[in-house]
Structure formats: C-alpha cells, structure tokens
C-alpha cells in the first residue's frame, strides 16, 4: 500500500474512532489480531455471523478473522489448520457443522482454540454454545404468554442434539405449566420445509384443536405455514407458529412474518474471541459455556405485528 493511501486510511480510521478500548488494547497487545475460523458450513449461514461477532469483539477494524471451510472432511481440516498456524494466527475458532459434539483438534496446538455452536467432545477444551433446552422452553413460554394452550412440536432429524434438546425444553415447559403436548408426541423428521408441510397435515388430522406449533427450525416453520395456508387456517388467529434460527431470509418474508428463537450467533463469536485472547494471557477455561437465546416476536404469534 502506498504511504499516501496508508495515511489516508489511518486518518479515516481515526475519524471513525476505529480504535480499541483499554481492555481490547491490553488483550491485543503483542498479538497479530488475526484469528482463524474453521467451519464445515456449506452455506456460511452459521459461520459468517459468528465470524462477524468475533471480529467485532474488540471494536471495528481491530481484528481479522480468516474463515476456512473444511466441508466436514478431517484431512481438509488438518490442511487448513496447518495453513492458518503457519501464518501466525493468534488462535482458532472451530464452528461445528451442527450442535452435536465434535472431535477435539487436540491439546498440542501452539495457539488457543475455542469451539463454538457445537461443543468439543473433550471436556478439557472450551466450548461456547447456545442452550437449546432453554431455547425450547422459551418458545413454549412465549406461546403460553400469548394465550396458547394446545401446543404441538414438529422438529427436525432426531439424530441432531439441537432437535432433542429443543424438544426437551418444549416438553419440560409444557409439563411445568400443566399443559399436554398437542398431538401427544414430538414429531421428529427432517430439517426441511417439505417435512414441515407433511407433518402439519398429519398433526391436524390427529389433533385438529391444536392452537400453536413450535417448529424445530425456520425452514420447518415455513413448511408448517404453507400447509396452514393451504387449509385456509389463519395465522396466528387460529394457529400460532414459532421457529428457531431467526434466519432473516425465511423469517421476514413469510406471511405473516415468522416469530423465531434467535440463537445469538454473533454473540457466540464475540465471546469466543474474548475467551481466545484471555487464554493467551493465561486465563485458560475449560468445559462448556452456554448462552441464552432470545425470542424475536413477529406476526406469526402476535396479530398486532
């Protein structure tokens, strides 16, 4: 970069206060401010928000996160780890391809590692995840608070801990409220709109008095809403719908817009970056740290929106 360009950029940065606060200054001292993010996310849907959160942890423009995609391949992952380490990254953030526990990268790496979204199988590692049991509970609490009493749960692939954990939260919250699960059992299937459609048709035959459906993901929720529209069921008047993920493309374009449990991916990334830099300073943590999700309310559960 030309000296003149550099000066121009620095002046602009100064103007915009792109400078770290005292804490960030301390944590970043002597570091390169570069972190590697390993993902297997084929669309970037989960990893890009986590990347943004990590970069923003110490103020805009102080850190660069390099994302590498291993596509679920262990050999490719090792290749990327070596490429990142040989370029002196300060640490690694490993984003799971699901919330299921994943193999640890091991304890002999020269930089700290934090696992995000899906935890490491090794309790000696530090993992930062969303509490999906609590997320399921929050979905039901929101529906009860908005007057629902016959709540059903249509979810994704039961081999995913996200599906099982959310279902546990849903059923626990219902039991505590003294309410039955509409349709009697959790309907596990796949993470797709078409399963949402099919399951909703089955559910309405089995439990036609259902007044709310907790969908295991926004994709499933879109299928649920589609099947309800097909039957001219009013949303939310007759049946309210809530999803998980708060994926804007799906949640803000449905009719009505979809209430969804936000898993706070940027916050996961921000916390992961902080923990990485704390570990470099000798404050090494272990085990699983979990964040609470939050319900983003839209028209599919509250008619006023």
- Interface with a second copy by CB under 8 A: which residues? 1-2, 5, 9, 12-13, 16, 18, 32-34, 36, 41-45, 47-48, 51-52, 55, 60-61, 64-69, 71, 73-76, 78-84, 87-88, 106, 108, 192-194, 197, 219, 222-223, 226, 229-230, 249, 253-255
| Smallest distance from a second copy to CB 12, Å | 6
- Could you give the CA distance from residue 148 to residue 143 in angstroms, rounded to a whole number? 5
Which CB atom, from 66 or from 202, has the smaller least distance to a second copy?
Answer: 66
| Smallest distance from a second copy to CB 57, Å | 14
| Smallest distance from a second copy to CB 78, Å | 5
| Smallest distance from a second copy to CB 241, Å | 16
| Smallest distance from a second copy to CB 56, Å | 10
Which CB atom, from 173 or from 258, has the smaller least distance to a second copy?
Answer: 258
Which CB atom, from 22 or from 249, has the smaller least distance to a second copy?
Answer: 249
Which CB atom, from 79 or from 286, has the smaller least distance to a second copy?
Answer: 79
Which CB atom, from 18 or from 146, has the smaller least distance to a second copy?
Answer: 18
């Amino acid at each position: 970069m030309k000296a003149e360009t550099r000066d121009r950029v620095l002046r602009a940065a100064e103007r915009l206060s792109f400078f770290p606060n005292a804490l960030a200054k301390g944590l970043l001292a002597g570091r390169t401010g570069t972190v590697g993010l390993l993902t297997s996310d084929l669309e970037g849907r989960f990893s890009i928000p986590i990347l943004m959160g990590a970069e923003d942890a110490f103020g805009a423009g102080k850190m660069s996160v390099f994302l590498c995609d291993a596509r679920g391949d262990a050999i490719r992952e090792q290749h990327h780890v070596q490429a990142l380490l040989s370029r002196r990254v300060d640490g690694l953030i490993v984003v799971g391809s699901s919330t299921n526990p994943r193999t640890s990268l091991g304890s002999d790496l020269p930089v700290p590692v934090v696992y995000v979204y899906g935890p490491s199988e090794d309790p000696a590692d530090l993992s930062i995840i969303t509490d999906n049991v609590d997320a399921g509970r929050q979905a039901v609490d929101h529906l009860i608070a908005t007057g629902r009493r016959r709540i059903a749960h249509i979810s994704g692939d039961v081999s995913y801990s996200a599906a099982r954990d959310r279902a546990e939260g849903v059923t626990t919250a219902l039991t505590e409220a003294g309410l039955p699960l509409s349709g009697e059992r959790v309907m596990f299937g796949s993470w797709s709109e078409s399963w949402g459609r099919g399951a909703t048709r089955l559910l309405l035959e089995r439990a036609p008095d259902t007044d709310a459906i907790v969908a295991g993901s926004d994709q499933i929720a879109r299928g649920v809403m589609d099947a309800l529209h097909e039957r001219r069921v009013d949303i939310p008047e007759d049946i309210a719908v809530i999803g998980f993920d708060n994926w804007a493309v799906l949640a803000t374009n449905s009719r009505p817009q979809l209430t969804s449990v936000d898993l706070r991916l940027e916050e996961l990334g921000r916390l992961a970056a902080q923990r990485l830099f704390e570990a470099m300073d000798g404050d090494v943590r272990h085990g699983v740290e979990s964040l609470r999700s939050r319900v983003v309310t839209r028209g599919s559960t509250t008619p006023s929106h």
